[in-house]
Amino acid sequence: MISELPVKERIVIIGAGNVATCLATSLHAAGHCIEMVYSRTASNAEKLGKLLNSRYTDNEDEIRAAQGIQIAAIPDEALIQFSEKRLFGKGLLLHTAGSIPMNILSGCSSEYGVLYPLQTFTAGRDLREHGVPFCIEACNAGSLARIRDLASSVSDTVYELDSESRMMLHLAAVFACNFTNHMYVLAGKIAERAGVPFEILHPLVMETAKKASERSPVMSQTGPAARNDMIIIKKHMDLLSFSPELMELYRLISDSIIAARATDNGGLAD
């Protein structure tokens, strides 16, 4: 269960995009005090600040003067720029990036770490209701305990991962989320050639995700490549003659599935 709030933290949110909004609203709902919201875009800062009944600003100097936990929920490029310019204030400093090492913050504060929520974000969603796992890291034991308490106030699942492991996990998430979504885009275009909308695939998409979450995806793999059915594969390849790019993608993925079925580790070399 999500832990009872051990400490009511005072928090500054740096950013006002989907990640910042979901994180800030969830922390606020868990009982923490969102002291201030910063965004380079004044209207975005105002929108999120008013939602949280917090101060808001687009003035970098106000961040430098801020106290409490500062959470930088901003794009990777902006995080790098902030770190290089040392725009952060005093206190525990966290970033939320999957593929940026913790030590990027080492020159900005004596207390720093990572609070990485593993999810694709939609504004308005409460993280506490969707079982979002958090991966945490810190520069010392005291900061780690504080970050763990913060993460546990909004999530039942908290992992301690170093920067290298977190980056590998982020790569896995790209395959599981971003690449999978692109497959939906391509599937929709192919369905259009059959004269039907993508919506016809919705039940299939939902059942596939359900099976993958209920048991091993390796055990859930179906389709012509899983059966090594070269007759159907050849027919599909012929149908894709309108797009050499899709034909090659189909071939590569089918070959990967066939190879995976021949091993015990999903087709990946040790």
**In terms of Cα–Cα distance, which of 111, 65, 61, 58 is closest to 89?**
65
| Alpha-helical regions (H) of 30-162 | 42-52, 60-64, 76-85, 141-152
Residue 121: its pLDDT value, please?
Answer: 82
- Asked whether the beta carbons of 132 and 152 are under 8 A apart, the reply is no
Mean pLDDT over the full length of the chain: 91
Residue 270: its pLDDT value, please?
Answer: 46
Residue 2: its pLDDT value, please?
Answer: 66
- Spatial separation of the C-alpha atoms in residues 138 and 115, rounded to whole Å: 9
**Average pLDDT estimate for 246-263:** 94
pLDDT > 90 fraction of the chain, expressed in percent and rounded: 77
264 pLDDT tier (thresholds 50, 70, 90): low
Q: Where are the domains of the chain?
A: 10-161, 166-261
Residue 266: its pLDDT value, please?
Answer: 60
Is residue 104 over pLDDT 70? Answer: yes
pLDDT in tens, 191-243: 999 999 999 999 999 999 999 989 889 989 999 999 999 999 999 999 999 99
- Spatial separation of the C-alpha atoms in residues 99 and 116, rounded to whole Å: 10
Is residue 265 over pLDDT 80? Answer: no
Element (H, E) at 93: strand 93-95
Residue 139: its pLDDT value, please?
Answer: 97
Please give the DSSP secondary-structure letter assigned to residue 103.
G
Output the pTM of the full model. Answer: 0.88
**Average pLDDT estimate for 48-72:** 91
φ/ψ of residue 223, rounded to 5: 105, 175
To which CATH superfamily is domain 10-161 assigned? NAD(P)-binding Rossmann-like Domain (3.40.50.720)
CATH code: domain 166-261 is 1.10.1040.20
**Average pLDDT estimate for 55-73:** 90
Q: Which residue has the tokens 């390849």?
A: 237
- Spatial separation of the C-alpha atoms in residues 99 and 179, rounded to whole Å: 17
| Alpha-helical regions (H) of 33-140 | 42-52, 60-64, 76-85
Give the Å distances, CA to CA, from 197 to 129, 177, 192, 250: 31, 22, 6, 21
- Asked whether the beta carbons of 39 and 58 are under 8 A apart, the reply is yes
pLDDT in tens, 139-184: 999 999 999 999 999 999 999 999 999 999 999 999 999 999 999 9
Is residue 75 over pLDDT 90? Answer: yes
262 pLDDT tier (thresholds 50, 70, 90): confident
pLDDT in tens, 106-122: 999 899 999 999 998 87
pLDDT > 70 fraction of the chain, expressed in percent and rounded: 93
Q: Over the range 73-102, which residues count as b (16 or more CB within 10 Å of their CB) and which as e?
A: bbeeeebeebbeeebbbebbbbbbbbebbb
pLDDT in tens, 8-19: 889 999 999 999
